[in-house]
Every structure is written in C-alpha cells, then in structure tokens.
Amino acid sequence: MSKNNYTVHVRFYEELNFFIDKRYRKKTFTRTVSRGTTVKAMIEDLGVPHTEVDLVLVNGTPQPLSYRLKSGDMVSVYPVFESFDISSVTKVREKPLRKPAFILDVHLGKLAIYMRMLGLDAKYVNDISDDEITITALRENRTILTRDRGLLKRRIVHHGYYIRSKFPLEQLKEIIRRFSLEGSISPFSRCLRCNILLEDIPEKQIVRGRVPDKVFLTYDRFKECPSCHRIYWRGSHWENMKNIFDSLDL
C-alpha cells in the first residue's frame, strides 16, 4: 500500500443504498482513497449525491462533508431522516431553508404544475440550463428537484433532492412526504403559469367582461395573478386541485 493511499471502512444506511453498487449495499466495506480525499468526494464517487446525506459519522463523531479521510477511518453515512429530528447532531447541512421553495429541472414540468395547484413554490423554466438552475437555487434559497444525479453532485448545490418516481403524481406525493409539506399546502393560491401568489379581487364587478358571463353569475370570489393577470375562481380549477389532492391519500 502506497503511503499516499488510505484504507477506510464505509457503510451507507437506509435509502442511500439505492444509489450504490449492489455489492456495497447494507454492509461495511473497505475503500481505498488517496490522501486528502474528502467524505464528499468519496461518497459521490460511489454514486451518492451529497444532497441526499444528512449525517456523517467518522469513528462515531459527526463530521462535515469537507472532512479529509484518514487511514482506518470508519465512515457511517446517513440519509435525510424523515421521522425524527437529528438537528442537534447534524453537521452536514449548514444553512437550513426558512420556507420551502423549489426549482425543478427541465424534465419536471408536470410536477411543477401539480405543485402550484397545491400552492407550493415551484420555479420551473423549460429552457433553463443546469448552470442557471444551480445559480438560481443558491440566490433564491431554493431546493433543486431533479432526476439527474449529476446536477446534485455539483459542489455549490446545498439543497437538492433526487426524485425517485417517474410519474408526476407519485413525484408530488414523494416530495410532500420527504419535505413534510402537508402544512404548506394551500390550493387556489398560486398562478399555475407564473408560480406567483394570487391576489384577492376585492370587488366582483372588476372581473365583469373578463370571465365568461356564466362564471361571473355563478361565482362570487375571484383571484388574479399580479403578473399575467389571469383570473382564477373556484370552478373547474378548484375541482381539479381537490381531486388531485384527495387522490394523494396523504
């Protein structure tokens, strides 16, 4: 063994096993790394995006992803925990998100619409580059949602989530559970086109002539997007949202 190579022992827990090669799953295995290798580099070399990791223990002590491995280290890598709070021991994530806001990659347009239907902040632009997604996420403190692991491996990505399902409604359910968004759901509050919060129209007369006569006569409450000026009411949009929400069976 060259003195520039170290042997370390590694174990991944729970769903992180999903990312790694079969022969490494659910057991401790040995890995050779070169001097100076960080935990982040090693786990990503094995296929795990660092954004999926919430806690790293080295020889039983929490360490950040930037920790440089030493010979003989025992490294235990844990995913983001859904059911209990480990904030007191977590070292990996330094900047908690204040309120849930997301940016979706170009393949998740349908999920973006579903999220907006539920009032969730889902930025989506269909011709945005990976660089722009990364920069926007940092600037606006948004969590990246993607099915592209490469995007999540970028060093400057702090918050991201690799979506497992290929089906938009399943994806919706997945992110609601993963980020505990049940309390953030507010249907009929966000423009489906612009992702901007709708404003109440104080006086029904304002929408006369801007919505079909039948709609004007049937409904009393309307909302408007301050950006595209589309008018929303609790008609078919509302029924669609309600059906979707009910079908999620959260």
- Kindly report the three-state secondary structure assignment for every residue of the chain: CCCCEEEEEEEECHHHHHCCCHHHCCCCEEEEEECCCEHHHHHHHCCCCHHHEEEEEECCEECCCCCECCCCCEEEEEECCCCCCCCCCCCCCCCCCCCCEEEECCCCHHHHHHHHHCCCEEECCCCCCHHHHHHHHHHCCCEEEECCHHHHCCCCCCCEEECCCCCHHHHHHHHHHHCCCHHHCCCCCECCCCCCECEECCCHHHHECCECHHHHHHCCCEEECCCCCCEEECCHHHHHHHHHHHHHCC
Stretch near Zn ion under the rule CB under 5 A, chosen from 52-60, 75-83, 116-124, 224-232: 224-232
Q: Which is nearer to Zn ion, 128 or 194 (CB)?
A: 194
Contact by Cβ (8 Å): 40, 15: no
Among 57, 113, 194, 197, binds Zn ion (CB under 5 A): 194
Establish if 59 lies at the interface with Zn ion (CB under 5 A): no
Candidates 228, 239, 240, 247: give the one binding Zn ion (CB under 5 A): 228
Distance of closest approach, residue 226 Cβ to Zn ion, in angstroms: 8
Q: Any contact of residue 226 with Zn ion (CB under 5 A)?
A: no
Asked if 191 is part of the footprint of Zn ion (rule: CB under 5 A), the reply reads yes
> Residue 122 or residue 151: which is nearer to Zn ion going by CB?
122
- Of the ranges 13-21, 125-133, 181-189, 191-199, which one interacts with Zn ion (CB under 5 A)? 191-199
Using CB under 5 A, which of the segments 22-30, 178-186, 212-220, 223-231 binds Zn ion? 223-231
- Residue 125 or 194: the one with the smaller Cβ distance to Zn ion is 194
Q: Which tokens is 14 given?
A: 């729970």
The residue (of 162 and 232) whose beta carbon lies closer to Zn ion is: 232
Residue 77 found at the interface with Zn ion (CB under 5 A):
no
Which one, 142 or 190, has the nearer CB to Zn ion?
190
86 binds Zn ion (CB under 5 A): no
Q: Which residues of the shown chain bind Zn ion in the complex (CB under 5 A)?
A: 191, 193-194, 225, 227-228
